[in-house]
Structure 1
Amino acid sequence: MPGAEEKLAALGIVLPPPLKLPPGMVLPFPWVNVRGDRAYISGHGPQEPDGSLAGPFGAVGDSVSLEEARASARKVGLSMLGSLQRELGSLDRITGWCRVHGMVNSASRFTQTPAVMNGFSDLILEIFGPEVGRHARTAIGVAALPFDLPVEIEAEVMIKE
C-alpha cells in the first residue's frame, strides 16, 4: 500500500507553505509539538497555495455555505499536513490519527458541524487509508474564530520516533 507521501504525489496535491502571519504577529507556540511518539497539532485554518489564509470568511450558515465550509475544512487538512511534513520530515512517520477537534464558526442555530468536518476527515482517510487515518472526532459550533475563519481544527497523531 502506498504511503502518505506517495499518495499525495499521485493525487497531484501540493501542500501549502507555512502560514503568512500579519506583520508584527508572533505566535508563542509551535504548529506541531512532538512529545515522544505523539505529535500534537495546534489549531490550523484554511490556507491558499501561497500560504495566505483562504476564504471565504465568516459564519457558516450565514455568509459561508455548507459546501464552502466543507471545502475550507479540506484546506485546513492540507495546511495541517504541510506543518506535519515540515516538522516530521515525512508524513510516512505518522502511524495513526488519534483525535481531531473541529471548531466551526457557526451562525445561530447552524447544526451541521459534522458535515463541515467531513471535508477534513475525508481528506485524511483518502491520504492515510482506513487504518492509519481513522480518528475520533469532535465537531462543535462556536460564536467566532480568529480572522473570522469558518473552521479551525486541531489534532493528535501517533508517530514513529
Structure 2
Amino acid sequence: MNQVRYLTASNPYERLKELGIALPKAPNPIANFVTHVQEGNLLFLSGQGPQEANGYLHTGKVGLNVGAEEAYEHAKLTGINLLAVMQDALGDLSRVKRVVKLLGMVNAAPDFGEHPKVINGCSDLMMAVFGEAGRHARSAVGFGSLPNNITVEIEAIVAIEE
C-alpha cells in the first residue's frame, strides 16, 4: 500500500497537481441531508463514498470480494470527494487550517481486521495535500453494510481560517 508522500509544493492546489489529481464536482447527497455544515470555524463533512466523477460507485465487501489494497484506493477516491466538498464549501482549500478528525467506515467481511490500512488511503491523501495540517485524529471501523453496498464511507471535521 502507498505511503504518505511529502510534496515540495507550497499550497493544496499545487500539491494536488503534483499528485496528478483533478478535483471532481462535489457529489450530490443521496438522501435528505447536506454535504457539509459550517459551525464557527469548523466544517463538518457528511460521509462520502468511492464515487468516480462519472457517477460509478465502487461496491463490495472488503475481505470477501474486494481486497484491502483495492479498498485503500477506494478510500483515497473518497478522500478526493471530501476535498471536492471542501472546495465547494470554502471556495479555497487554502482556508483549511487543519483536518481535525476522520471517521472511516469499511463495508467489511466479519473476519476482516485491516480497517486502519484501508482508511489510510484517505489519511495519506490528507497528509499529502495539507502537510502537517492534514494530520488528524481518526476512527477506522468495520460495518456489516454501507449505503448502496459501497466499500468505504468517510466523514470529516475540518478547522478553517475565517
TM-score by length of 2: 0.90
CA contact (8 A) 1:33 1:41 kept: yes
- Asked whether the 8 Å contact 1:38–1:158 carries over to 2, the reply is yes
CA–CA separation in structure 2 for the residues paired with 1:74 and 1:9: 15
Q: Structure 2: 5+ residue runs without aligned partners? A: 1-8
Secondary structure at the counterpart of residue 111 of structure 1: coil
Deviation at 1:20, TM superposition (A): 5.7
Shift of 1:49: 2.6
Looking at structure 2, the residues matched to 44 and 63 of structure 1 have their Cα atoms a distance apart, in angstroms, of 21
Written as runs of structure 1 = structure 2, the 5 A alignment for 1:131-150 is 131-150=132-151
- 1:81-131, CA deviations, whole angstroms, 9 ceiling, x for partnerless residues? 0011011001110000111100000101101000101111111101111x2
Mapped to 2, the partners of 1:4 and 1:137 lie a distance apart of 21
* Equivalent in the alignment of 2:154: 153
The letter for the 2-side match of 1:77 is: G
Q: 1:103, 1:140 within 8 Å by CA — same for their partners in 2?
A: yes
Aligned length: 154
CA contact 1:39–1:157 (8 Å) conserved in 2:
yes
Whole-Å separation in 2 of the counterparts to 1:133 and 1:75: 16
Structure 1's consecutive aligned runs of 4 or more residues displaced over 4 angstroms after TM superposition are: none
Where in structure 1 are there 5+ consecutive unaligned residues? none
Counterpart residue number, 2:118: 116
Q: Secondary structure at the match of 2:26?
A: coil
Using the TM superposition, give the Cα deviation of residue 13 of structure 1 relative to its aligned residue in structure 2, in angstroms. 1.0
TM-score (norm: length of structure 1): 0.90
Distance 2:19 2:118 in 1: 22
- Give the Cα–Cα distance (whole angstroms) in 1 for the partners of residues 119 and 151 of structure 2: 11
